[in-house]
Amino acid sequence: MIPEIGPVKTFGVMFALAFLACGAMAGRRFKELGKPVDWAYEIVFAALIGGLIGARVYYLIQHPGEFGLKGVFSGSGLVFYGGALGGAIGVLLWGWWRGFLNGFLLDMGGIGLAIGYAIGRIGCQLSGDGDYGTPTSLPWGMAYPDGTVPTNVEVHPTPIYETLSMGLVAWLLWQWRDRFAPGAVFAFYLIFAGIERFLVEFIRRTNSAALGLTQAQFESVAFFIIGGILLVVIAKRNGGDIMRRPAQTAAVRA
């Protein structure tokens, strides 16, 4: 783990790097689609504001006892699913404002979410914020004695697992950006993200909510189902399959 340096927080650094990486991806994609590269700055700002609000609101819903002026503006307590939902709303509002509310925007969002999650988990690993797993005797088990949630017991370094898995998902989705019909890449993101989080929860130190599953696992199932439904809808609208038609790319570049 890397210790905190004065007011600089390692998770905050990774948080910023995640948005920078997403901005670089968006800029390249907008250029490929013949749109202004400067839109990348706008979309990242929209995602940032929406994500911060969504993550905090989600946390406060889960911890109603912290409602109040101090709780609302506290720098701690940010939840990924709330951030993803808030960021998505921010991006959709931006797309509506710019007249770019389409499947291409959704696909960029899916790739960006995968990139951001992979980098964000590096911040969790460096700060030892408690997102690690259950005790393990595997050779790569790690202790977090100096973490913000310390433990001297060797546990599964689940943030590393998630960085590697979602980093692979981000790379795969980027490779597929021109292969599938608009919106399909976002659907694949929902499916892959749902599978990844559902599986990793089995070895994370998280209390079950019902039926032996955690709240995050129920949310992951919802991601998977929504992604599957979206693929079916796209296939029906695309003549029975989800592959990209040349005219679809030409239309958005016009």
Residue 19 and residue 49 in contact, taking contact as beta carbons nearer than 8 Å: no
Q: What is the pLDDT of residue 216?
A: 87
- As a whole number of angstroms, the longest Cα–Cα distance in the chain is 59
Q: Is 42 exposed, middle or buried (0-12, 13-18, 19+ CB in 10 A)?
A: middle
77: left (phi over 0), alpha (psi -120 to 50) or beta: left
Q: In the chain, what is the straight-line distance between the N-terminal and C-terminal CA atoms, in Å?
A: 49
Task: Report the distance separating Cα 7 and Cα 151, nearest Å.
Answer: 23
Q: Token pair of 92, please?
A: 């959709």
Q: Please name which of 21, 20, 39 lies closest in space to residue 30, comparing C-alpha atoms.
A: 39
Residue 112 and residue 94 in contact, taking contact as beta carbons nearer than 8 Å: no
Amino acid code (one letter) for 182: P
Q: What is the pLDDT of residue 253?
A: 67
How many other C-beta atoms lie within 10 A of the C-beta of residue 152? Answer: 8
Q: Please name which of 133, 123, 138 lies closest in space to residue 203, comparing C-alpha atoms.
A: 133
Q: What is the pLDDT of residue 9?
A: 66
109 Cβ neighbours under 8 A, 6+ residues apart: 47, 88, 91, 186, 189
The pTM (predicted TM-score) of the whole model is 0.85
Q: What is the pLDDT of residue 57?
A: 78
Helix (H, G, I), strand (E, B) or coil at 205: coil
Domain ranges of the chain: 10-35+100-253
**pLDDT tens-digit profile, the chain (254 residues):** 444 444 446 767 888 898 899 999 999 999 999 999 999 999 999 988 888 888 777 767 766 665 544 444 344 445 566 777 888 889 999 999 999 999 999 999 999 999 999 998 998 888 888 888 999 999 999 999 988 888 899 999 999 999 999 999 999 999 999 999 999 999 999 999 999 999 999 998 877 778 888 888 998 999 999 999 999 999 999 888 898 877 777 667 66
